[in-house]
Structure 1
Amino acid sequence: MQLNEALETLKNEGYKYTKKREDILSFFTEEDGYRTASDLLNYMADKYDGLSYDTVYRNLHLFRDLDILESTDLNGEKHFRLSCGHDEHHHHFICHSCGKTKTIKACPMNYIQQDFPGYTIENHKFEIYGKCPACQ
């Protein structure tokens, strides 16, 4: 997803454009991989004196709910990244060191769904963690 697409989604869903929201989204368009609220707060601290974690988290969760951002839990902490914009179902490899991601095109549910006869599977998540070539 590009910055202009994210801002358009925000507008189409009836949310107000602010420079702060644009700067949050700019941070994620410039970063390649998952980042924490602390990473974002450090990025924005010089420009927005007194910016609180509450404001950061509120916007991060709003953007996630609007499918502008994706989130995952790494080492007990929520991490966010710009939605990769794939229309097809997919999963990710996530580097523990730098947070970069790589798309996994195969879905394990295609193989294990047969183990759940009579069950209704409503959703699933599959991620692989390790180190990318640059971090090894």
Structure 2
Amino acid sequence: MSKTHNQRHLEERRKELRKNLTPAEATLWKSLQRKQLKGRKFRRQHSIQNFIVDFYCASEGLIVELDGAVHLDFAQQNYDLERTEILENLGLKVIRFENRLIFEHLSEVLEEIICHFKTTSSSE
């Protein structure tokens, strides 16, 4: 991977985040790990530039972010918008879900993620 991904200075923070997933992240990860979603490999707590994203699928250029209550704050929303713009300018697609949707409508969330896949997999 290029120097844009998984920079060394973020390694410890990524490890810490992976060890301490939020309940919503842990629930979604159970459905994304080991290529369970249409054969796509997802990484959790992956860094791109100086941002650590919740989930990243390199083959699709897709980032999945989960938003808790902190993301309701106006300043946080502005930061999220700027961050999304930077990541999308790298050619990536960012999709966001509220944490509650993971618990209340997981199958719909997974379908929405699939809708953003650009390619078809032979293992589908």
Q: TM-score, normalised by structure 2?
A: 0.30
Task: Give the structure with the higher percent helix.
Answer: 2
Q: Which of the pair has more CA radius of gyration?
A: 1
The structure, 1 or 2, with the larger RCO (C-alpha pairs under 8 Å, 6+ apart) is 2
